Amino acid sequence: MSEFSQVTVVREANIFFDGGVTSRTLIFPDGRKKTLGIMQPGEYEFTTHSAELMEILAGDLDVQLPGADDWQTFAAGESFEVAAHARFGLRVRAVTDYCCSFL
């Protein structure tokens, strides 16, 4: 297990796709933000505002990165980056725990 210390956590969850994707927002002392989230099995599409680093803590999913035709598989311990203002697709096979860092 790992921890983030000295952070502020927004109490209310971010809820997307009728609960298919949910997360909590963490704000760090230097103003950086991360979300810790859960993706239920299903297909989702997100568009970023700022660039993001998505770290997979547990789970199994395929990701179609911006501009790509193919889908890449990601599992626990792996990560991917998405540029700002870019669309990416997710096919989640197993409940997936993730950490999203806004870059």
Under the rule (CB under 8 A), what is the footprint of a second copy? 1-13, 15, 18-19, 22, 24, 26-27, 36, 38, 40, 57-58, 95, 97, 99
Residue 39, token pair as written in the block: 């993706």
**Nearest to a second copy of 12, 69 (CB atom):** 12
Residue 33 · residue 60 · CB < 8 Å: no
CA separation for the pair 97, 29 (Å, rounded): 24
Residue 48 CB, nearest distance to a second copy (Å)?
21
**Nearest to a second copy of 38, 82 (CB atom):** 38
CA separation for the pair 38, 20 (Å, rounded): 8
**Nearest to a second copy of 9, 103 (CB atom):** 9
Cβ atoms within 10 Å of 68's Cβ, excluding its own: 11
Residue 29 CB, nearest distance to a second copy (Å)?
9
